[in-house]
Amino acid sequence: MTKLCRFALMLILFLPVRAPASDRNGQEIYVAICAACHGPQGEGTKKHDKRLEGGRSVAQLAELIRETMPANDVGLLSSKDAEAVATYIHGAFYSQVARERNRPARVELARLTVRQYRNSVADLVGSFRWEPKFGDTRGLKGEYYAARNIRNEKRVLERTDPQVAFDFGTNAPSEKMEAHEFSIRWMGLVLAPETGEYEFVVRTDHAVRLWVNDNNRPLIDALVKSGSDNEYRANLYLVAGRMYPVRLEYSKAKQGVDDSKKQKEKPPPVKSSIALMWKQPQGVLEPIPARQLSPNSAPESFICSTPFPPDDRSYGWERGTTISQEWEQAVTDAAIETATYVVAKLNDLAGTKDDAADRPQKLRTFCRTFADRAFRRPLSPELANSLIDKQFDAAKDPETAVKRAVLLVLLSPRFLYREVGGGPDAFDVAARLSFGLWDSIPDPELLNAAANGRLATKEQVTKQAERMLDNPRAKGKLHDFLLKWAQANHGRDLAKDAKKYPGFDAAVIADLRVSLELFLDDVLWSDKSDFRQLLLAEELFLNGRLAKFYRAKLPPDAPFTKVKLDGDSRAGVLTHPYLMTSFAHSTESSPIHRGVFLARGVLGLSLRPPPEAVAPLAPELHPNLTTRERVTMQTRATTCMTCHGIINPLGFTLEHYDAVGRYRTQDHGKAVDTTGSYRTRAGNTVTLNNALELATFLASSEEAPEAFAEQMFHHLVQQSVRAYGPTKLDDLRNSFAANGFNMRKLAVEIMAASALRGR
């Protein structure tokens, strides 16, 4: 046989044949062409070590296969062959349903997350005090006195001040007060929007004291002023969604006047001013805004400040599934911190007195109640004996017994883990509800409902969930979810090139963050709570500083107000300047970052991480190219287009917004091209000409609401939605649509669907 004949025979035997789909089914094509790289069941090989799984539909997967596979001979497969192999892969192991069939998800045993631990110990201790109410009025209660010292008989004015940021000059705050001598006391509570270290700052030239979460020891004490200091700072760790008592006392007195002349001569005018400010964990120094203040009162709150290792977020949501030496040490340290605080405040918490004859018995009762609430169910006699009675019988004094009992309770798996021991019951339902909506232990009403059989049906669970939504803890958790959904919770460095974007400073960035949060909360807590308005709303919140930078018409000192910016060119969160800034480079916009946000976050698509980090092409290397043109040049390789075929067309629709989110029509001297496209799960290609068309498509699609519902489920329940049945996500999507895409009703439906299901 000649060499030519042998070569021809090899071609016939070993090269795949381009046969019509009717001659080869999808499995045969996969085995012949794909399995060598992806493995017989898509498990991966040395050539391609990633599992073959994702969120694309059959139509989307077929298009990807036809355009990019096989890697060494793109275009080998016809459209029919690509559709056949896509259908096989999707049904065999690629799709979520297939993965659920092959590797069934389950409700996993989980410990408390860091957030849940901090909230639980705070509420556990706080349950022995009265519960504060934030109310509808914003600001602090101000009491004004016509004397240098606060005396009730000298009180001449009482009002609610939205903020403490006053410059009185040489005047008095009221006609009934002397300009040279007066005092003011502001009282109320402050609501912490996020967990972390806060810096409190008071600016004044006069005497001042500030108490935060401790009515006995001032956080800042400058009552006796010396030197020329006029700014006082102190740090305090606060937990998000909690209310802390705050009190500020300010005194202006006669200065520089000899006592013998006080009655004869009028003292010289002295200016006075005072500002109460803070710096949030990821913020800038600013006056504490009125939206975080209430004139109501609050008891002291326990703050567990023990550092914990971070929770696992590899699935996209916080999970308490990892146990390590670091975590065990943190749990031990936190238990000691909590027990030490309880003993220090024992009479206050237990309602006892040191010399009372019934104090030991009351302390036993206190510990029994503490354990009941920590374990989220009544304590059994056996546990009560081992955890409490034995400690009191063996300890030399009741304080030692209390400390030992509290430590044993807080280190018990019944506190640290959810649903430990016994079958699912009403108390487990109560715990799932409280951890889902509050990240904390049940309140008395929820425990009472469990004890009396009122958590047995979906209707009963729904009623409790609706009640719980009105609590600041639930509002804080949903607020946090929206920030995660918008991918605005990462603390990115948003600084930009100062030469290209003058005026875009830390204060503007902080205002943009507030603007986004106000927008998200405004839509969430509106009457309809319509998810679609997150995408379609034409207005956003601007203050005077932002209005100046974004060329809107507002007074320089304007507070945050709803504004329609840039005519009809804005589409809700999709074009919010904060997100446009977040998903951008220091000098240029980034269609890739924006496209990834849209694909992963809004549409819920699975995108593989790039095989290696690739720096964007520097604009100065291609000064005549627009950002779109540079991105197209850099990602045109076939291997890139596996994901960038989705990312780029979505990201290009937002190119009207520069690196700081300002609207533009030109990029590097050329007209901005915002045309893009998206291939739906049904296989239809949608042409998108700009951000408004993108928003309209997303709001009317099935994919965006479904992705939103799935992400909310994972955020609240912290379990895979697939563990609750293969149709659970479809059920949630359908009920979401039936309820007018009401986000609050979706949260209630999620809890009603999950709370009655145990491990």
What's the rounded Cα separation, in Å, for the pair 575 and 591? 13
Res 207: pLDDT: 93
Residue 269 Cα to chain centre, angstroms: 49
Residue 584 forms part of a structural domain: yes
The residue with tokens 């590797």 is 103
Do 571 and 694 fall into the same domain?
A: yes
In a domain? residue 588 = yes
Predicted pLDDT at 32 = 84
Asked if residue 326 has pLDDT above 80, the reply is: yes
Q: How many helices (H) and strands (E) does the chain have?
A: 29, 18
Q: Do 163 and 244 share a domain, yes or no?
A: yes
Residue 7 has pLDDT above 70, yes or no: no
CA distance 513 to 18: 55
Handedness of CA 508, 510, 516, 521 (dihedral sign): negative
SS3 247: strand
Same structural domain, 515 and 457:
no
Domain end, chosen from 686, 701, 716, is at 701
- What mean pLDDT is predicted for residues 286-311? 95
Q: DSSP letter string over 108-157?
A: PP-BPPHHHHHHHHHHHHHTTSPPP---S--SEEEEEESSSS--GGGEEE
541 inside domain: yes
- Strand ranges for 443-542 from DSSP E: 539-542
- What pLDDT does 613 receive? 58
Q: What b/e sequence results for 421-431 when a residue is b if at least 16 CB atoms lie within 10 Å of its CB, and e otherwise?
A: eeeeebbbbbb
Of 487, 516, 684, nearest to 594 by C-alpha is 487
CATH of residue 206: 2.60.120.1560
Domain check: are 277 and 347 in the same one? no
Indicate the residue among 102, 117, 149 that finishes a domain: 102
What's the pLDDT score for residue 27? 87
**What does the alpha-carbon distance between residue 131 and residue 123 come to, in Å, rounded to a whole number?**
10
Angle at 653 between CA 651 and CA 659, to 5 degrees: 65
Residue 591, in any domain of the structure: yes
Alpha carbons 199 and 279: distance in angstroms, whole number: 5
Q: Lowest-pLDDT range, 420-424, 555-559, 620-624?
A: 420-424
Reported confidence tier of residue 171, pLDDT bands at 50, 70, 90 = very high
- Percentage above 70 pLDDT, the chain: 91
Same domain? For 547 and 457 the reply is: no
Q: What CATH number does residue 87 fall under?
A: 1.10.760.10
Average pLDDT of the chain is 89
Distant-in-sequence contacts of 22-28, Cβ < 8 A, 24+ apart: 24/81, 24/84, 25/84, 25/88, 26/84, 26/85, 26/86, 26/87, 26/88, 26/89, 27/88, 27/92
pLDDT at residue 616 in the model: 74
Residue 521, pLDDT > 70, answer yes
Angstrom distance (rounded) from CA 553 to CA 104: 56
182-231 per-position pLDDT tens digit: 999 999 999 998 888 999 999 999 999 999 999 899 999 998 766 678 89
Residue 521 lies in a domain: yes
Q: Going by C-beta distance under 8 Å and a sequence separation of 6 or more, which residues neighbour residue 255?
A: 267, 270
Is the confidence at residue 617, as pLDDT, over 80?
no
500 and 438 in one domain?
Answer: no
pLDDT value at position 682?
Answer: 83
341 domain-assigned: yes
| Same domain for 172 and 258 | yes
Per-residue confidence band for 416, with pLDDT thresholds at 50, 70 and 90? very high
Number of domains in the chain: 4
Same domain for 213 and 333, yes or no, is: no
Q: Are residues 204 and 91 in the same domain?
A: no
Average pLDDT (540-561) is 94
Comparing 680 with 465, which gets the higher pLDDT? 465
pLDDT(15) > 70? no
Are 535 and 592 found together in one domain? yes
Residue 9 pLDDT level (bands cut at 50, 70, 90): very low
* Residue 288 one-letter amino acid: I
688 pLDDT more than 80: yes
DSSP string, 369-431: HHHHHHHTSPPPHHHHIIIIIHHHHH-SSHHHHHHHHHHHHHTSHHHHBSS-SS---HHHHHH
Last residue of a domain, one of 432, 467, 502: 467
Q: Closest by alpha carbon to 711, among 684, 685, 750, 737?
A: 750
CA atoms of 340 and 748, how far apart (whole Å): 38
Give 570-597 pLDDT, tens digit per residue: 999 999 999 999 999 999 999 999 999 9
Percent of the chain with pLDDT over 90: 67
Judged by DSSP in three states, 301 sits in coil
In which band, very low, low, confident or very high, does the pLDDT at 12 lie, cut at 50, 70 and 90?
Answer: very low
Over residues 621-630, the mean pLDDT reads 87
pLDDT of residue 307: 94
Is 63 contained in some domain? yes
584 and 692 fall within a common domain: yes
Q: Which of 463, 483, 530 is nearest to 195 (CA)?
A: 483
How high is the pLDDT of residue 611?
A: 60
Are 523 and 641 in a shared domain? yes
Residue 258: predicted pLDDT: 45
Residue 365 lies in a domain: yes
Q: What is the pLDDT of residue 1?
A: 43
Domain containing 431 equals 325-467
Q: Convert the pLDDT of each residue in 66-83 to its tens digit.
A: 888 887 777 788 888 888
Per-residue model confidence as pLDDT tens digits over 27-56? 888 888 888 888 888 888 887 777 888 878
Side chain identity at 622, as an amino acid letter? Answer: H
For 606-629, what is the mean pLDDT? 76
